[in-house]
Amino acid sequence: MGAKLTTRRLAAAVTITVFALLVTACTGGSHTQPVSPAANGGSQAGSGGGAGGASAPAAASTDPNAPVVSISPADGAKNADPAAGVTVTAAKGTLSSVKVSPAGGALANSGNTSGPVSGTMNSGSTSWHTQWALGISQKYAVTVTATRNGETKTTTSTFTTLSPSSTFSTHIFEGDGQAYGVGMPLILTFSQPIKNKADVERAVELKTSKPVIGAWYWDGSQTLAFRPRDYWPENTSVSFIGHFNGVKAASGVYGFHTLTQSFRIGRSVIAVASTKTHHTQIFISGKLKYDWPISTGRPGDETPNGSYLTIEKANPVEMKGPGYDLMVPFSVRLTWSGVYYHDAPWSTGVQGTVNVSHGCVNLSPARAETYYNLAVPGDPITIKDSPKAGVWGNGWTYWFLTWRQLLAGSATHQAVQAGPTGSTFVDASALPASTAKAPIGTAASGIWGTGPK
């Protein structure tokens, strides 16, 4: 039996096993008023100093050998743009060290403890810039040491960043410490539309225990997903850091929080179902483990082609449609419209020979239970050989996209290389070609259904 129309879970009296995602997911809270830095040792941003906090050189020295250093924002600036960060340059001499720290302790609203702000020096040691945006409503202290002709000079500066009229919050779908399948995208949802999409992408840092190549993809202006080029390596630990505090999302709209989360990619469990052969194959850790007879959607209710992912599971699920209302055990969802892999004892006699369901993939009770116990969110499921095309957005359909389409959906149009030390943006054309083969290493994306409009 399928679940083409509506599905709902039983009341609390019936045992339900559902993927624990949203309950444990992490969300940065929201602010509608400017945040005062007073509690963190700063001062409330005033009207002086200008919004930009233009750079200013240190006081002129009469010593012709003295280094000449400039710091932006200028000393004493208020309402400095946090998205612009800090830039230190040595017009004469070289920079020995640069330290930028929140004045008075912990960084306001960041979720981080106090400590120096990270940055990068150019190869000639004449320019330094912060790596991430600064926090909003925050007072900072800058200490710069420079040398020239054997003379060393230390310059200090303080400034305060602006308090924005509006902020955005960010929600990450993945739950802390949870396990996901090898196809799982990292999904972010923003409380406000994002205009400066490339800046938001570049504010994210990924650390993975195994090397991963992927790309960001915007599904509208409030949903951003990271999908690997090929399936994640199984048993990969993933750490996410969204350095959104101070990132300018749109005119007058800034992030206010640094969002962190860690999760893991578990064992590779991949299902491939053919509506033509009436069989599904289950691959575990790259090897074919099961080849089971199935029954898919009957004529008029065909199971749609697509490279899907498991979304959730429940035991049982109430499935309702024309002429039926059943409690169906061991049900694993793959589309929002109600296509499941599930227990179907009523069709065991024709499983492997005829398609009789209302759109779901029917399995025998024992086989449905086996797959149910294996499944976690993000396990790939491919439906093929159906006359009906899948539809973008009906489920987690990011694997409908080719690698080229995925890159086109990024505001940077660049690939992301992640590993144990962090992530970097790279030109996709400079990467070695993928050697992954479907269905084990990657999805046969781009041919199974209709892509995004």
SS3 434: coil
Distance from C-alpha of 330 to C-alpha of 178, rounded to nearest angstrom: 21
Q: In Å, what is the CA distance from 139 to each residue of 69, 73, 437?
A: 21, 12, 52
Q: In Å, what is the CA distance from 288 to each residue of 268, 284, 333, 338?
A: 11, 6, 22, 27
Residue position matching structure tokens 């065991």: 348
Judge whether 383 and 310 are in contact, CB under 8 Å. Answer: no
Q: In Å, what is the CA distance from 218 to each residue of 53, 143, 227, 244, 407?
A: 33, 39, 11, 17, 10
Going by their DSSP bridges, the two strands 317-321 and 324-328 should be labelled as antiparallel
Judge whether 109 and 136 are in contact, CB under 8 Å. Answer: yes
Helices and strands: H and E segment counts in the chain:
3, 36
Distance from C-alpha of 202 to C-alpha of 9, rounded to nearest angstrom: 40
Distance from C-alpha of 453 to C-alpha of 440, rounded to nearest angstrom: 28
- 220: Cβ contacts below 8 Å, ≥ 6 apart: none
**Alpha-carbon dihedral sign for residues 198, 203, 204, 205:** positive
**Choice among 31, 243, 342, 358 that is catalytic:** 342
Specify whether 342 is catalytic.
yes
Per-residue tokens: 2: 């399928």
User: Which stretch of DSSP H or E encloses residue 200?
Assistant: helix 197-202
Specify whether 31 is catalytic.
no
Distance from C-alpha of 332 to C-alpha of 369, rounded to nearest angstrom: 10
Phi, psi of 71 (to 5 degrees): -125, 130
Judge whether 90 and 67 are in contact, CB under 8 Å. Answer: yes
Question: What is the 3-class SS of 20-40, one letter each residue?
Answer: CCCCCEEECCCCCCCCCCHHH
Phi, psi of 345 (to 5 degrees): -65, -25
Residues carrying an active site annotation: 342, 360
